[in-house]
Amino acid sequence: MKKVKNLEKIFKSRLSLIINFKNLLNYYLVNFHGIKSFIFDKTITINKKLKLRINKINKFLILNKKKIINLRGDAFGFSLMQIDYLFKYLKSNKINSSDLILISPKINNTFLKKILKSKLKLNLLEFKNIYNLLISLFPKKKYFGANFIITPADCGNYDYPSDLKITFSSDECKFGDDLLEKLGVDKSDKVIVISYKSASYFSDLLKESTNFGLHEKNQKYRISDHKKLNKTLNFLKSRNYVPIIFNFLNEEEELYFSNYPRIHSIKDKKDRDFLEFYCHYKSQFSLCGNSGDQFIPKLFGKKTLFHNGIIPHSLSSGIFLPKKFIDKITGKQLNLTQVLSRKIFYYEKSDTNRIKKVSPIYFRDIVHFEKKGIKVLENSEDEILNATKELIILSEKNKLNLNDEQITLQNQIKEIYYNNFYKTDYTMPAKKISGYISPSFLQSNKEFLDNL
């Protein structure tokens, strides 16, 4: 740890000085004005003084046999996706995790920090300025070479074996069970995690933050209606499952879910941070909407129904239930191939500094869908219920009993998604999805498959 602190001193003294207003402005605008950033100033100027500073850091890394990596600790779901991928990358490339130094902005979830430091034994530096530099258009690979590992930002599927295993001690289990008891959950109950992207989440953030950007305001494509979970919740209760609601709730939602355990009834933030992981560890499976919670079950080998999805994020186990897409002019449902053909130009913020086309599964703004004439339609009550029934079978038997025609269809859909995965440099080659696209959804939405 002393060596890591030494690197922190070098970073603070040698690199933070070069982050000026121009570079920060470029960093914050690149996602929203990608074409402009590409045409105008794209990279940080590398002068002789900066090269000397980089050489000093490289000498430190080589001497101590360390590599640096950026971790998006301020983006909960993304950081979990990075961690999942990272351990697959390490195994594939035969790299020891103790040889890494993770550089992150402030990590908001306190238990995630404990997981990184205590359970995964990773070296961690929380230093926002250096993180901002390393995630900007600064050419890391060119100047740090093999001393810098780039983790993917494409959210494609990497179905590789991993040594990532997170467990809880007996004391942690007792602590977690005591917290669940406060919610009215017995340690013998069959726990199910319920999560969705709520409209209240964004409205609350807008009230609380003066720095909430236009990009965040336009993430309506991720939202789903909590009332659409009603049939599923009733079904789960009839099967003696105990659903735990993970969302921040507004007054209407609090009333709606008043008969269910709600994680945010726990007032202490550190306790909630712990429960965000422990509930998944205890759960039979989870139902997660288009939020970062979808990545937690993978840390414990648990299966998930990813409902109201846009892209099958790293779906190596579980069931993907996609949203539907409507043509805004004709009012008709678009099939998957039609949707994915409506691409936009995207400025890849990486070492390559290039513009490329990406399909709507990578759109991160409702404005992009609207500009391409696409209306996003969320899943119905019955779609979520039927997919949940499939997930229960999958959890119990570890596979779905599909006929040859259904298996062929699954493979065709997966191939379409695979061919539209975002391709970037320095990652392991993407593998095919090994989970399931909800068979009941495919059966009842022929328009989604119109060309197959």
Instruction: Please give the torsion angle defined by the CA atoms of residues 384, 387, 392 and 394, in that order, rounded to the nearest 10 degrees.
Output: -150
Angle at which helix 48-63 crosses helix 2-14, to 10 degrees, equals: 180
| Phi, psi values for residue 103, rounded to 5° | -110, 125
The yes-or-no verdict on residue 435 having pLDDT over 80 is yes
> Percentage of residues in the chain with pLDDT exceeding 70?
82
The mean-pLDDT minimum among 83-92, 106-115, 149-158, 400-409 falls in: 149-158
Q: What is the pLDDT of residues 19-51, one digit of tens each?
A: 444 444 443 433 343 444 444 444 556 677 777
Q: What is the pLDDT of residues 245-262, one digit of tens each?
A: 998 888 888 999 999 999
DSSP state of 333: B
The yes-or-no verdict on residue 17 having pLDDT over 50 is no
Task: Measure the CA–CA gap between 272 and 58, rounded to whole angstroms.
Answer: 39
Report how many helices (DSSP H) and strands (DSSP E) the chain contains, helices first. 19, 14
DSSP 18-85: G--HHHHHHHHHTTTSHHHHHHS--S----HHHHHHHHHHHHHHHHTT-EEEE--TTSHHHHHHHHHH
Kindly report the pTM of this predicted structure.
Answer: 0.86
User: Residues 296, 276: contact at Cβ < 8 Å?
Assistant: yes
Mean pLDDT of the chain: 83
Q: What is the pLDDT of residues 138-151, one digit of tens each?
A: 777 788 888 888 77
Q: What is the pLDDT of residues 88-123, one digit of tens each?
A: 888 888 889 899 999 999 898 999 999 999 999 999
